[in-house]
């Protein structure tokens, strides 16, 4: 198959963190971010990585469609001259991502290929 999987650890905001807002210190707003008052929480998720070839002029369109489905997947151009791209998506979104990628493939002529020999995952 033309798919690989990686595991990534993502930090979540601690419940005790004020986020990006300034916090009060001695009655004045501090321009710095509030420090974590406890250890941040983490999640571990798996990502599927697929390699596709498509007409180079279609890369921007595919990127636009993937980004419009907020969080369903990401595209990385591996070789713009031949239209070689890597598409990654969370394993929990696999069913939706596969349906979307099939629709994009039907529309643009995108086809799955093996990863190149010099491929380095992010």
Q: Determine contact, residues 9/43, Cβ cutoff 8 Å.
A: yes
Give the mean pLDDT of 62-87. Answer: 94
Distance between CA atoms of residues 79 and 50, nearest Å? 14
- Distances in whole angstroms, Cα of residue 4 to Cα of each of 17, 23, 26, 30, 36: 35, 43, 52, 45, 35
Domain annotation covers residue 50: yes
Domain annotation covers residue 106: yes
Tell me the per-residue pLDDT of 12-21, one tens digit each, with 9 for 90 and over: 444 433 444 4
Domain annotation covers residue 9: no
Whether the pLDDT of residue 10 is over 90: the answer is no
Looking at the structure of the chain, the number of domains it has is: 1
DSSP H helices, 23-69, are: 59-68
Domain annotation covers residue 28: no
Which residues share a beta bridge with 6?
A: 47
For residue 57, give the CATH number of its domain: 3.30.70
Tell me the per-residue pLDDT of 78-119, one tens digit each, with 9 for 90 and over: 999 999 999 999 998 999 999 999 999 999 999 999 998 887
The token pair that represents 7 in the structure block: 């595991």
Domain of 99 in residue numbering reads as 46-112
Report field, pTM of the whole predicted structure over 0.85:
no
Domain annotation covers residue 57: yes
């Amino acid at each position: 198959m033309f798919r690989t999987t990686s595991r990534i650890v993502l930090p979540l905001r601690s419940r005790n963190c004020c986020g990006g807002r300034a916090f009060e210190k001695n009655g004045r707003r501090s321009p710095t971010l509030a420090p974590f008052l406890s250890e941040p929480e983490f999640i571990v998720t798996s990502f599927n990585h697929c390699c596709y070839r498509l007409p180079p002029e279609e890369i921007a369109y595919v990127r636009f469609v993937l980004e419009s489905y907020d969080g369903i997947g990401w595209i990385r151009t591996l070789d713009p001259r031949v239209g070689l791209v890597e598409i990654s998506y969370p394993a929990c979104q696999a069913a939706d991502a596969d349906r979307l990628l099939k629709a994009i493939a039907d529309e643009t002529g995108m086809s799955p290929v093996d990863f190149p020999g010099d491929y380095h995952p992010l």
